[in-house]
């Protein structure tokens, strides 16, 4: 159960304090949309649209705000993978919902809420490359550079590099609570 107490949020006896407000989030989304448009505007068209794959559950708010600002031909699909248990990444990947679209020779853009250790995105990219896309690019709202442990992956579109701290809000959760917050909060230590 969660509730807002003055400026903080309490979830399961953990206190989260303000970290990134809605104005800064909107600026991040706008800049990221501009970068994506600049990269893809001459590559995709109605016959070969950009295939956007949102990683559920966390990326839903970011993806929703982002695609509203993209003035390019695109399709939106979702895949569900997970590696978190509580506030720690488990390192174990679970593919729960798969992609049902043929992606052979297609431009793919994966939308993530956060890249932490990199294990989830690394495994997802390997799985998608088995389907022979033309190109796969990564777009993440947040990147914990100091916690990244996976093989080097070119993350073409990074909204913001953040501290190696646990955050909630704007789609990110703690045990499924806090996703609905319109700002980002950081675990108070």
Domain ranges of the chain: 16-187
Instruction: Mark whether 116 is an active-site residue.
Output: yes
pLDDT digits (tens, 9 = 90+) for 7-22: 889 998 899 999 999 9
CB atoms within 10 A of CB 15: 13
Question: According to the model, what pLDDT value does residue 1 have?
Answer: 41
CATH number attached to the domain at 16-187 = 3.40.50.2020
Mean per-residue pLDDT of the chain:
88
Q: Please, how many CA atoms are within 13 Å of residue 57, restricted to the half-sphere of its CB?
A: 14
**What is the Cα Rg of the chain in Å?**
16
Give residue-wise pLDDT tens across range 96-138.
467 888 999 999 999 999 998 888 888 888 888 989 999 999 9
Look up the pTM and report it.
0.88
Q: What is the C-alpha to C-alpha distance for residues 2 and 14, in angstroms, rounded to an integer?
A: 9
pLDDT at 88: 58
Higher-confidence position of 41 and 126: 41
As a whole number of angstroms, the distance between CA 21 and CA 41 comes to 30
Which entry of 65, 113, 116, 173 is annotated as an active-site residue?
A: 116
Distance CA 139, CA 109 (A): 7
The pLDDT assigned to 146 comes to 84
* Contact between 181 and 8 (Cβ < 8 Å): no
Taking 60 as the threshold, does the pLDDT of residue 93 lie above it?
Answer: no
DSSP the chain: -EEEETTEEEETTEEEEEEE-HHHHHHHHHHHHHHHHHHHTTT--SSS-EEEEEEETTTHHHHHHHHTT--S-EEEEEEEEEEEETTEEEEEEEEEE---S--TT-EEEEEEEEESSSHHHHHHHHHHHTT--SEEEEEEEEE-GGG--SS----SEEEEE--SS-EEBTTB-BTTBSTT-SSEEEE--
Average pLDDT over residues 32-60: 95
């Amino acid at each position: 159960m969660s509730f807002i107490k003055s400026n903080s949020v309490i979830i399961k006896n953990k206190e989260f304090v303000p970290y990134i407000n809605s104005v800064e989030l909107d600026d991040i989304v706008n800049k990221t949309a501009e970068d994506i448009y600049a990269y893809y505007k001459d590559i995709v068209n109605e016959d070969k649209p950009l295939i956007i794959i949102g990683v559920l559950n966390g990326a839903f708010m970011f993806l929703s705000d982002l695609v509203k600002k993209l003035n390019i031909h695109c399709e939106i699909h979702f895949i569900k993978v997970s590696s978190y248990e509580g506030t720690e990444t488990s390192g174990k990947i679970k593919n729960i919902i798969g992609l049902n679209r043929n992606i052979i020779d297609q431009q793919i853009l994966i939308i993530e809420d956060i890249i932490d250790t990199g294990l989830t995105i690394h495994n997802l990219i390997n799985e998608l490359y088995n389907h022979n896309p033309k190109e796969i690019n990564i777009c993440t709202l947040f990147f914990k550079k100091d916690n990244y442990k996976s093989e080097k992956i070119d993350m073409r579109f990074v909204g913001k590099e953040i501290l190696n701290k646990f955050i909630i809000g704007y789609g990110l959760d703690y045990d499924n609570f806090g996703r609905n917050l319109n700002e980002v909060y950081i675990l108070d230590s």
